[in-house]
Structure 1
């Protein structure tokens, strides 16, 4: 299985290319959704990596895809500038998804 990066940042894209991971750079919501659809149609792609800033362009649509499709796994990562999320982002995500406090 291959991994695929969708980033708004050229530095993140170059770093992933050096690690052997292909991808695209997008700046608009339509470009992001088109890249996601392309990645979902490719049977060889098992992991789609999306940077945080890119995720913010279409968060609702991506979260909907994460819930409805089994493949590829969609994962959010910070870019070279570090995370924009709060310290408790994972805890908050679990609380929102499952409805329990941990």
Structure 2
């Protein structure tokens, strides 16, 4: 099983390639859709890594893949410029999910 990266910048792809993870750099909506469909169809791909920026820009494509495919696992990762999430995003997510303030 292998990992595959779909990134919006070359720096993240270069870093992942140093770790042995192949991938592509995309910027447009159709490029993202095509890269995801290609990665999903590859039965050797266990995990697709996707930069957070692409996940925020094209949520409908990401949601479609997550809803209609059991595998591979789709994980959004921060790029080299950091994350776009608030520092307390995990705590707020848990608060919303269970309705109890931690």
Asked if Structure 1 and Structure 2 have the same fold, meaning a TM-score greater than 0.5 normalized by the shorter chain, the answer is yes
* Partner residue in 2 for 1:87: 87
Instruction: Work out whether residues 28 and 57 of structure 1, in 8 Å CA contact, stay in contact via their aligned partners in 2.
Output: no
Runs (4 or more) in structure 1 with deviation over 4 Å come to 91-96
Matched, 1:101 2:71: no
TM-score between the two structures when normalised by the length of structure 1: 0.86
* Partner residue in 2 for 1:17: 17
Alignment of 1:19-98 (within 5 A): 19-93=19-93
Q: CA deviation at 1:70?
A: 1.2
RMSD: 1.8
In structure 2, do the counterparts of structure 1 residues 79 and 42 end up closer, same or farther at CA, with 3 Å as the change threshold?
same
Structure 2, gaps ≥5 residues long: none
Query: Size of the alignment, in residue pairs?
Result: 100
Determine helix, strand or coil for the equivalent of 1:56. helix
Structure 1, gaps ≥5 residues long: none
Instruction: Work out whether residues 4 and 45 of structure 1, in 8 Å CA contact, stay in contact via their aligned partners in 2.
Output: yes
